[in-house]
Amino acid sequence: MKLAPIALFVYNRRNHTRRTLESLVTNPGFTESLLYVFCDGAKSEKDLDSVRSTRELIHSYELENVTIIENECNKGLARSLVDGINYVLQKHDRIIVLEDDCYPSQDFLQFMNICLDNYESDERIMNVSGYAPPIMIPDDYTYDIYFSYRFSSWGWGTWRRAWKYYSKDSGILKTIDSSISIKKKVDRAGLDLYTMLKWQIEGKIDSWAVFWAINIIMHDGLSINPVRSRIMNIGHDGSGVHCSADGRYDVQINKQKTSTIAFPDAIIPDNRIVKSYSDFQTGNLFKKMFYVCHHRFGKFIDPFISLISRVF
Taking the C-alpha atoms of residue 99 and residue 38, their distance in angstroms, rounded to an integer, is 10
| Nearest Cα residue to 277 out of 244, 229, 241, 235 | 229
Question: What local confidence, expressed as pLDDT, does residue 309 receive?
Answer: 43
Task: Quote the CA–CA distance of 255 and 286 in Å, as a whole number.
Answer: 35
The pLDDT tens digits of the residues spanning 192-249 come to: 999 999 989 988 888 899 999 999 999 999 999 999 999 999 986 555 444 445 678 9
Which amino acid appears at position 297 of this protein? F
Q: Which of 260, 250, 217, 305 is nearest to 131 (CA)?
A: 250
Q: What pLDDT, on the 0 to 100 scale, is given for residue 258?
A: 77
More confident residue, 250 or 300: 250
Q: Specify the pLDDT at position 141.
A: 98
Is residue 311 scored above 50 in pLDDT?
no
Residues 6+ apart with CB under 8 A from 139: none
Q: CA end-to-end span of the chain, whole Å? A: 45
| Contact criterion met (CB below 8 Å) for 243 and 233 | yes
Q: Span 93-116, mean pLDDT? A: 97
C-alpha distances in Å from residue 58, one per residue of 2, 27, 155, 186? 25, 17, 19, 39
Report residue 297's pLDDT band, with 50, 70 and 90 as the boundaries: low
**Mean pLDDT score of the chain:** 90
Average pLDDT over residues 180-200: 93
Residue-level pLDDT at 99? 97
Q: What is the pLDDT of residues 64-90, one digit of tens each?
A: 999 999 999 999 999 999 999 999 999
- Partnered with residue 224 across adjacent β-strands are 128, 147
Spatial distance between the Cα atoms of 188 and 203, rounded to a whole number of angstroms: 24
Cβ burial of 180 (10 Å; 0-12, 13-18, 19+) is exposed
Q: Rounded mean pLDDT of 260-284?
A: 92
State the average pLDDT over residues 92-113: 97
Task: Give the span between the Cα atoms of 250 and 190, in whole angstroms.
Answer: 19
Plot region of 220 (φ>0 → left; ψ -120 to 50 → alpha; else → beta): left
Closest of 90, 161, 130, 302 to residue 230, by C-alpha: 130
Q: Which domains does the chain have, with CATH numbers?
A: 6-168+208-269 (3.90.550.10)
Q: How confident is the model at residue 293 (pLDDT cuts 50, 70, 90)?
A: low
Residue 173: pLDDT above 70?
yes
Q: How far is residue 14's CA from residue 56's CA, in Å, rounded to a whole number?
A: 9
At 303, which helix (H) or strand (E)?
A: helix 285-311
CA 16 from centroid of its chain's CA atoms: 17
The predicted pLDDT at position 164 comes to 98
Across 259-279, average pLDDT: 95
Residue-level length of the chain: 312
CA angle centred on 100, ends 94 and 106, rounded to 5°: 70
**H-helix or E-strand containing 242?**
none
Tens of pLDDT, residue by residue over 9-67, are 999 999 999 999 999 999 999 999 999 999 999 999 999 999 999 999 999 999 999 99
* Residue 8 predicted with pLDDT over 80: yes
pLDDT for residue 286 is more than 90? no
The 10s digit of each residue's pLDDT in 117-160 is 999 999 999 999 999 999 999 999 999 999 999 999 999 999 99
Based on the number of CB atoms within 10 Å of its own CB, is 263 exposed (0-12), middle (13-18) or buried (19 or more)? middle
The rounded distance, in Å, linking the Cα atoms of 90 and 169 is 21
